[in-house]
Amino acid sequence: MANVSVQPDLFDQQGERHEAALGGGWETSPAFLVVSEDRDKAVAALQAAAVRLYSVDQNGKELTREEMTGAYPQYTPNYISDVYLTDLGPMIYTDTKGELSTGMAQGMLRIVVAELRAQEITAVVAAPPKDLSWENAPSVKIFP
C-alpha cells in the first residue's frame, strides 16, 4: 500500500517566509527530494511531476497549454531540473526566481505527492539538506 508523507515545514527549511510579493510565501526556488526504497518508481514519479510543475502558477493552479501562451499574467517557474540521483534519493529543483508563493508551493507539492501515489510507493518528500551534493550526481532527463 502506498504511503506518501511530507517533511514538516518543507518550504521553511528552504527559505525565509515572507508576507509580501505574490501574496506571501518564501524566498526560495524549491527542491523536492524523495526518500523511498523504490528508487526507480520515485524517479518515474519525479519525471512526471517535473513536466507538470512548469505549468503551476502563483495561485497553485495547473494551467492548460492554452493558458500558457503568454496572453495571461500568471507567473510560472522558469526552469525545472532533470531528476538527480543523489545519495539520499532522487530530487528535482525549480527556478522560481527566488520567490515562491504559498499557492505555487501548495500546487507543486500536490503534484509531486499525486505522482508518487500514482506509482503506488511508500515515500517521504523532503527538502534536500543544504550540504547535499547533487551537481555531479547522475541524472535522468525529464523529457526522455
- Contacts of residue 70, defined as CB under 8 A and 6 or more positions apart, other chains included, come to none
Which domains, ranges and CATH numbers included, belong to the chain? Answer: 3-63+74-132 (3.30.70)
Q: Which residue has the higher pLDDT, 90 or 136?
A: 90
Q: What share of the chain is helix, strand, coil (3-state, %, to 5)?
A: 25, 25, 50
pTM: 0.93
Q: What is the per-residue pLDDT for 20?
A: 64
DSSP SS3 for 26: strand
**C-alpha grid cell, residue 69:** 501562451
- Give me the mean pLDDT over the 85-110 stretch: 95
Q: What is the per-residue pLDDT for 22?
A: 54
- Alpha helix stretches (DSSP H) within the chain: 39-53, 102-118
